[in-house]
Chain A
Amino acid sequence: NAGVTQTPKFRVLKTGQSMTLLCAQDMNHEYMYWYRQDPGMGLRLIHYSVGEGTTAKGEVPDGYNVSRLKKQNFLLGLESAAPSQTSVYFCASLTGTGAYEQYFGPGTRLTVT
Chain B
Amino acid sequence: AQSVTQPDIHITVSEGASLELRCNYSYGATPYLFWYVQSPGQGLQLLLKYFSGDTLVQGIKGFEAEFKRSQSSFNLRKPSVHWSDAAEYFCAVGVPTSGNTPLVFGKGTRLSVIA
Contacts and interface: CB of A to CB of B under 8 A. Distances in A.
Interface of A: 4, 30-31, 33, 35, 40-43, 45, 48, 50, 58, 90, 92, 94, 96-97, 100-102, 104-107
A59 B106 CA distance: 14
Contacts, number: 49
A106 B94 contact: no
Given A42-B90, A100-B32, A90 B99 contact: no
A42 to B, nearest CB: 4
Interface of B: 9, 32, 34, 36, 42-46, 49, 51, 90, 94, 99-100, 102-103, 105-108
Contact of A101 (B46, B102, B106, B107): B46
Which of B49, B100, B102, B105 gathers most chain A CB within 10 Å? B102
B105 A106 contact: no
A25 to B, nearest CB: 13
Contact of B42 (A4, A96, A106): A106
Contact of A97 (B99, B100, B106, B108): B99
Contacts of A50: 99-100
B43 A104 contact: yes
A102 B107 contact: no
Contacts of A90: 43-44
Nearest to B104: A45
Nearest to B91: A42
B49 A101 contact: yes
A75 to B, nearest CB: 18
A55 to B, nearest CB: 12
11 contacts: A31-B99, A40-B9, A41-B107, A42-B90, A43-B90, A90-B44, A101-B34, A104-B43, A105-B43, A106-B43, A107-B43
B109 to A, nearest CB: 10
A73 to B, nearest CB: 18
B91 to A, nearest CB: 10
Which of A31, A42, A48, A104 gathers most chain B CB within 10 Å? A42
B27 to A, nearest CB: 15
A1 to B, nearest CB: 16
